[in-house]
Amino acid sequence: MIDQRLLPGEYREVSFSSYVQVAEAIQQMVVRGAPAIGASAAYGMALAAYTSTASDILAFKDEMFKAREVLLRARPTAANLTWAIDRMLQVFENSEPGNIDDLRQTMLEQAQLIADQDVQINKEMASHGAKLMGDNETVIHHCNTGALATVDWGTALGVIRMAHEQGKNPHVLVDETRPRLQGARLTAWELEQYGISYEIITDNAAGFFLSSGIIDRVLVGADRVAANGDVANKIGTYMLALAARDNQVPFFVVSPTSTVDLSLQDGNQIPIEERDPGEVLRIQFLGARVAPEGARARNPAFDVTPHRLITGIVTENGVVYPPFEVHLRQAVIAGEH
């Protein structure tokens, strides 16, 4: 993994040899972004398989389900975590279990497949999304949804990247995304490398630019999408969606169907992770304290944007429009054929 906590100051790749380390890396946000978390958890499961000392299939299966619990606990909101892990555990459902070495091999191949498919799915989403965009659009983007948040290419940022490659010359206002500054640190770092025009803004300035009439579109990713189209995404997405709606600016979510959780009727049922208050009280990765000694903080990592504020959801199976309750299910099923 690239240690995303250190960017843009330092580029460092890190390796792990156990699923517990992978779970810690997910929890501490060495790796982040729903699709990247999913793929990392898949490799975590493969590591669990290869480091297992179980001598029979039943004991091995027990260990794999124990690993599942440890990895799931790392981040409660991202749907891709459950999705990827449960896809890894399908080895126990398919036909003959075979021997442990076969299962290990199958699980590693499955993890590699999840990673490879993620890149392909991202490019399909980017292609659908870029069709929506005209020339010279100014787009507001929240958090980081680029190559760093996925296996490669990106979701919302992938759409912008595709539009850029198509010569559409997008300009991005990058929400800095407090508290961890994924926009100012990671998205800006990616855009620098792609040669895409951008300016960083504070999250609370998005409303100013939306009401000024210069914004053509808002593009965000997702951490979990409920069956009715309510979207849990990085904290601040809801306020951004409100400001887009108040100014009639199209608001699109770019998210693979692996992020859709059809088991949840609406966004109220999505568990919202609350992280260490220290992320608010200090500036992450600088370690410097901004608040007075003794200060307390709250730090919800996500919020829920009601589907009524969302123009469309770009998936690898096409752009989904309201009524989301009907069309989202169709898009998910389309991918299962």
Binding residues for a copy of itself (CB under 8 A) = 8, 173, 175-179, 181, 184-185, 188-189, 192, 198-209, 211, 235-236, 238-240, 242-243, 246, 272, 277, 280-281, 283, 286, 288, 290-300, 302-304
Report the DSSP pairing between strands 312-315 and 318-320: antiparallel
* Shortest CB 239 distance to a copy of itself, Å: 4
Q: Which is nearer to a copy of itself, 97 or 278 (CB)?
A: 278
Write the DSSP string, 231-281. Answer: EEEETTHHHHHHHHHHTT--EEEE--GGGEETT-SSGGGS---B--THHHH
Q: Which is nearer to a copy of itself, 14 or 297 (CB)?
A: 297
Which residues are 197's β-sheet partners? Answer: 171
- Could you tell me if 128 and 318 are in contact, meaning their C-beta atoms sit under 8 angstroms apart? yes
- Is there a catalytic annotation at residue 175? no
Q: How far apart are CA 337 and CA 334, in angstroms?
A: 6
The vertex-144 CA angle with 140 and 150, nearest 5°, equals 130
Catalytic member of 152, 175, 203, 223: 223
Q: Which of 15, 27, 12, 1 is nearest to 276 (CA)?
A: 27
* Shortest CB 244 distance to a copy of itself, Å: 10
* Shortest CB 160 distance to a copy of itself, Å: 16
Rounded alpha-carbon distances, angstroms, from residue 243 to 179, 187, 205, 210, 247:
20, 21, 10, 7, 6
* Shortest CB 262 distance to a copy of itself, Å: 23
Q: How far apart are CA 13 and CA 11, in angstroms?
A: 7
Question: Residue 31 is encoded by which pair of tokens?
Answer: 């790796």
* Shortest CB 120 distance to a copy of itself, Å: 29
Report the DSSP pairing between strands 251-254 and 260-261: unpaired
* Shortest CB 234 distance to a copy of itself, Å: 8
Q: Which is nearer to a copy of itself, 204 or 265 (CB)?
A: 204
Q: Which is nearer to a copy of itself, 25 or 206 (CB)?
A: 206
- Tell me the backbone φ, ψ of residue 289, rounded to 5 degrees: -85, 135
Question: Residue 223 is encoded by which pair of tokens?
Answer: 């951490």
Question: Residue 115 is encoded by which pair of tokens?
Answer: 């990673």
Q: How far apart are CA 208 and CA 293, in angstroms?
A: 33
DSSP state of 187: I
Helix/strand/coil for 296: coil
* Shortest CB 61 distance to a copy of itself, Å: 39
As annotated, the active-site residues are 223
